Amino acid sequence: MLTIAAGNTALQSVLPAIGRSLKVPDSAVAAAFSVSALVWVIAAPIWARRSDRQGRKQMVLLGLFGFCSSVFLCGVFLAAGIVGWIAPLPAFLCFIVARMLYGTFGAAAPPAAQAIVAMGTTRDDRTRALSLLGSAFGLGTILGPALAPFFVLPMVGLAGPAFVFSIFGVGVLVVAYRLLPNDVPGGIGRGAATSYPSIGGEPTGASVRAATAEDRGKLPLTEARIWPWMLVGLVTGHAQAMAGQAIGFLIIDQLHISAAQAAAETGIVLMTGAFAALLAQWGIIPNLRLTPRQLAIWGALLAAAGCAAIGFSHSLHMLAVSYGLSSLGFGFLRPGFTAGASLAVGMSEQGAVAGRTTSVNGACFVLGPSIGVGLYQFWGPLPYVTSAAALLLLLPYLVLRLKR
């Protein structure tokens, strides 16, 4: 889980700089993530169901193979464009196809990993073990942007992180093949389809209840018990996706630096944001014991303030602090959204509500990046002003509609 999250977010952190160096449109960079996220949203539930029938180890290995092959091919096509072997636009189109490979097969590993952990632990240990699995995913969102600038290599330049993380992935694939036990289909463990790994924190869909609950079919999105939380997820998820996708371009333009220089600065800002989100989820929320309603209200306030500040930041320090503040708010909102929806239904519907939270989050990262970059091309601060306005407009609804 750590390797998949780190490799994906490392690539996200350097891709705006790669796009600018290849002189491809900013919208094409956003499309690369949107297409991959769309394929992930479609494939994740299919792999989650198949792991229950065909065995979890097989799905973990398939997901890791999809990750390794996709990231390696991404590096090959990007390097070919950087050194001039392929024209920039065809190279980037090939890169998008390689990202689809990741979205298709990479989605097989996380739900199978959840199921293995759920099956291999007692009831008393299961909560801690599944929380640790989610923490590994969250830690990867810090390590990816933090390590990516160190892997900008001679000859291949900004494509270097893709090659390095594909090597890491092969190592983990070998370890998983040798050490994971062969399991039989069935059992109490069930992997909930996990949301697309992205900069900003832990995935939705993975919960202790969802990993052990029976599958009772689908739950309508507009079902009265969960609809307020689904609306929270849709608005805040799009705001987060818009803010995160445009930040690489904003750093290049506001700091007036070249694409080659942008990898380190982007890594600092994204690492600050990921650390702030995890600080909220690992430290602040458990100690303050905030309810899902409180998380949603305070998270929307903090995220709106951070987004507004990002749009008008003109230094690396201001960008890092502002992005960290917005990420702290989103770090409240995402677990608040997931927990609120989970607590709104009974035990028998936990698998169904986990599927809904995951589909909502996936939809945000299909459309959000393209919307954010499209707004950015009109006016640099626009995606951040829009995100802040949407969150502030949502606040009265949160106060009046969410149950205490």
Q: Using CA atoms in the order 85, 88, 90, 91, what is the torsion angle rounded to 10 degrees? A: 60
Please choose, from the candidates 40, 16, 12, the residue with its C-alpha nearest in 3D space to the C-alpha of residue 28: 16
Contact predicate 183/109, CB 8 Å: no
Of residues 48 and 60, more confidence is placed in 60
| Largest separation between any pair of C-alpha atoms in the chain | 60
pLDDT, tens digit, 9 for 90 and up, residues 123-165: 667 767 777 777 787 788 888 888 998 998 888 888 999 999 9
Amino acid at 298: W
When the pLDDT of each residue in the chain is averaged and rounded to a whole number, the result is 85
Contact predicate 338/355, CB 8 Å: no
Q: What is the arithmetic mean of pLDDT over 330-359?
A: 83
In our burial notation (b when 16+ CB lie closer than 10 A, e otherwise), range 282-311 reads bebbeeeebbbbbbbbbbbbbbbbbbbbbb
Alpha helices in 344-402 (DSSP H): 350-378, 382-401
Cα–Cα distance list, 20 to 82, 120, 163 (Å): 11, 47, 20
| β partners of residue 157 | 153
pLDDT, tens digit, 9 for 90 and up, residues 94-129: 999 999 998 899 888 888 888 888 777 776 677 677
Neighbours of 263 (CB within 10 A): 26
Give percent of the chain above pLDDT 70: 90
Alpha helices in 180-315 (DSSP H): 208-212, 227-255, 262-279, 285-288, 292-311
pLDDT, tens digit, 9 for 90 and up, residues 366-396: 888 889 999 999 999 999 999 999 999 999 9
Q: Is the pLDDT of residue 206 over 50?
A: no
Amino acid at 376: Y
CA separation for the pair 307, 240 (Å, rounded): 9
Question: Is 380 exposed, middle or buried, given 0-12, 13-18 or 19+ CB atoms closer than 10 A?
Answer: middle
Q: Is the pLDDT of residue 209 over 60?
A: no
Q: What is the arithmetic mean of pLDDT over 63-79?
A: 94
Contact predicate 9/140, CB 8 Å: yes
| β partners of residue 153 | 157
With a CB cutoff of 8 Å and minimum separation 6, the contacts of 330 are 200, 201, 236, 239, 240, 277, 299, 303
pLDDT, tens digit, 9 for 90 and up, residues 172-182: 999 999 998 87
